[in-house]
Amino acid sequence: MLFYRTRFLLPVLASLALSACFASRKPDIPPALVAPAPVKLKIGLALGGGAARGFAHIGVIKMLEASGIHADVVAGTSAGSVVGALYASGMNPFQLQQAALALDEASIRDVRLFSGGLVQGRKLQDYINTEVGNRPIERLQLPFAAVATQLESGQRTVFVLGNTGQAVRASSSVPGVFEPTAIDGRHYVDGGVVSPVPVDAAHGLGADFVIAVDISAPPDRSSPDGMLDVIGKSISIMGRQLGEQELARADMVIHPKLDGIGAADFTQKDRAILRGEQAALVAVPTIRARLAAMKAARQASLVAPHPLAH
């Protein structure tokens, strides 16, 4: 009896097992019909040098953030490295503005008479480190790069690790105004000599879309306003050709109108910030359109035709 019952049940059990097996199989869906994940572009901000004109960077950041455009990585040269380090540390635009308005030249300028009246730069280094909570570059909230020029070789150096204040000091050491910054036996001066607006450094941090902010003074025949203005114009002339080539590699360039604001004019912070806001506001629609176009192109490239689709 048991034998006959087993004989009868075996085909039934086998049939049920096969049905369950086929039911558990997922239908084959051609890859072409599976929607790829949405493209996420990494936005980079490249902030150029320009001494006191650098307050315009804060206005640009304010307007970009207000428009929902947030940087994922930040690179800065000279004055751009000062603003960039504070922004990368986690400061929001209003905190940046408060810090700027509270900043005076005395808090970052330490003249040493025996070095020919040059600024040592230690005050600037300490100021930055205090503001970022004494965190090294690699522990800032956003990936950050400070660009400087190595004096011995004349080569561009990009600091992405180590002492944040020291890197900013190196990037901001204007020749003839600041003493060169000594790091590990080498000496560094202002990054504007080789990279006035650090577009390539922003790409090096992994940015897909780079927004460059150029605050350099355009060529003019006006008389320079003081020694810092003379040196600033000299650096601008030296780096102009390199700067134009690098700016061409940006996806968007913002040029705040800073007429009448000299490199040494720390009295017009509000005006410089406002000019940065105005320039960014004009640029926002173009930035959005270009970001959308890049996303669409990347999204389309992810959808490959399936060989059986035809």
SS3 199: helix
Q: How far apart are CA 208 and CA 218, in angstroms?
A: 28
pLDDT tens digit sequence for 47-95: 999 889 999 999 999 999 999 999 999 999 999 999 999 999 999 999 9
Classify residue 34: in a domain, yes or no: no
| Per-residue pLDDT, 223 | 61
pLDDT tens digit sequence for 26-48: 555 555 556 677 889 999 999 99
Q: How far apart are CA 271 and CA 55, in angstroms?
A: 9
Classify residue 25: in a domain, yes or no: no
Length of the chain: 310
Residue 1 has pLDDT above 50, yes or no: no
Domain assignment of residue 244, given as a range: 43-220+228-300
Classify residue 157: in a domain, yes or no: yes
Cβ of 278: how many Cβ atoms within 10 Å? 16
Helix 93-102 × helix 269-302 angle, to 10°: 150
Q: Which of 23-27, 70-74, 97-101, 218-222 has the largest mean confidence?
A: 70-74
| Per-residue pLDDT, 5 | 47
Please indicate whether residue 176 or residue 31 has the higher confidence score (pLDDT): 176
**Tell me, what CATH number does 235's domain have?**
3.40.1090.10
Q: How far apart are CA 182 and CA 269, in angstroms?
A: 30
Q: How far apart are CA 124 and CA 107, in angstroms?
A: 7
Classify residue 174: in a domain, yes or no: yes
Residue environment code for 13-22, b if the CB has 16+ CB neighbours within 10 A, otherwise e:
eeeeeeeeee
Classify residue 241: in a domain, yes or no: yes
pLDDT > 90 in the chain, percent: 61
Secondary structure percentages of the chain, helix, strand, coil, to 5: 50, 15, 35
Residue 23 has pLDDT above 80, yes or no: no
Residues involved in catalysis: 78, 190
Please indicate whether residue 216 or residue 271 has the higher confidence score (pLDDT): 271
Cβ of 45: how many Cβ atoms within 10 Å? 32
Residue 197 has pLDDT above 50, yes or no: yes
Classify residue 13: in a domain, yes or no: no
Whether residue 82 contacts residue 128, with contact meaning beta carbons closer than 8 Å, is answered with yes
Name the nearest CA neighbour of 227 among 237, 219, 235: 235
Q: Provide the number of structural domains found in the chain.
A: 1
SS3 241: helix
pLDDT tens digit sequence for 114-143: 555 588 899 999 999 999 999 999 999 999
Classify residue 99: in a domain, yes or no: yes
- CA 160 centroid distance within chain: 12
| Per-residue pLDDT, 109 | 73
| Per-residue pLDDT, 3 | 42
Residue 201 has pLDDT above 90, yes or no: yes
Residue 310 has pLDDT above 50, yes or no: no
Q: Is this structure's pTM higher than 0.85?
A: no
* Confidence class for position 301, pLDDT limits 50, 70, 90: confident
* Mean pLDDT, rounded, of the chain: 85
Classify residue 36: in a domain, yes or no: no
| Per-residue pLDDT, 39 | 81
Helix 79-88 × helix 122-131 angle, to 10°: 20
